[in-house]
Amino acid sequence: MDFIMPGWKKSDQLRVRSVLFCLLTVFLSLQTFPCTAQTQGINIKDVNGKVIEDTYVINADIDYHFSAETVRALNHGIALQFVTRISVKKQRHWLWDKTMGTVVFKYRLQYHPLGGYYLVSGMNDGARRQFKKLSDVTDFLGTVKNYPLIPRTVFETDADGYYGQISVKLDIQSLPAPLRPMAYISTQWRLASPVYSWSIDL
């Protein structure tokens, strides 16, 4: 038997129940996994670049370690979107370093239980790839090979020097709206790398 507050509409009751459910979910998620933050995250291990056909390209080695909560959400149909941001900067002694170019590419990861496979979709190029194991997904996401950044002609020969910066993160804003409040405050959803810098030698 439902208890009905006087003057409350049924839609108001449903909204309150939804909020209470979200708060309960947040509380349980924070209590259930107190020690996993040390074994999760995104770590950029190495980046190097070179010029191929008048274009500066990079290779990167990145480790992805999903938390238990993100794996569970993935296996229950929640898509995860990862954003990689790469910038090339020009060093300047008397001014702030100048950004010569920035590339942002995104991958969307989904699990299809009926087919028993993971689907990785490139949000920039529309390419799709299927994997049977999550470890194969992380190997694919963690390998950046000859990714084109900017034309060789952008670099000036008399410049003080150039360097690149790269970062990778889980895009919490792309999650379903009811899940975002929990994701923003729970360490289980903090999958983001520190900014990694490397020197550009042409």
**Cα–Cα dist 160/150, whole Å:** 18
Tokens of 122: 């490139």
Helix (H) or strand (E) holding 57: strand 55-65
**Cα–Cα dist 106/109, whole Å:** 10
Strand order through the sheet with 128-131? 128-131, 117-122, 98-112, 80-90, 162-170, 196-200
The CA distances from residue 129 to 98, 103, 122, 141, in Å, are 36, 22, 9, 11
Q: What is the pLDDT of residue 10?
A: 52
**Cα–Cα dist 184/187, whole Å:** 8
Residue 6 pLDDT level (bands cut at 50, 70, 90)? very low
Q: Is residue 39 part of a domain?
A: yes
Total domains in the chain come to 1
Q: What is the pLDDT of residue 26?
A: 45
Q: Is residue 1 part of a domain?
A: no
Q: Is residue 31 part of a domain?
A: yes
Q: Is residue 65 part of a domain?
A: yes
Tokens of 178: 């009811």
Q: What is the pLDDT of residue 122?
A: 96
Residue 27 pLDDT level (bands cut at 50, 70, 90)? very low
Identify the domain containing residue 60 by its residue range.
10-200
Q: What is the pLDDT of residue 18?
A: 53
Q: Is residue 5 part of a domain?
A: no
Q: What is the pLDDT of residue 152?
A: 93
Q: What is the pLDDT of residue 128?
A: 97
Radius of gyration, alpha carbons of the chain: 22
Residue 23 pLDDT level (bands cut at 50, 70, 90)? very low
Q: Is residue 82 part of a domain?
A: yes
Q: Is residue 113 part of a domain?
A: yes
Q: Tens digit of pLDDT for each residue in 40-80?
A: 899 999 999 999 999 999 999 999 999 999 999 999 999 99
Q: Is residue 163 part of a domain?
A: yes
Residue 9 pLDDT level (bands cut at 50, 70, 90)? low
Q: What is the pLDDT of residue 93?
A: 84
**DSSP secondary structure letters along 106-174:** EEEEEEETTTTEEEEEETTT--EEEESSHHHHHHHHTEEEEEEEEEGGGS-TTSS-EEEEEEEEE-GGG
Mean pLDDT for the stretch of residues 186-193: 94
The pLDDT mean for the chain works out to 85
C-beta of residue 89 within 8 angstroms of C-beta of residue 164: yes
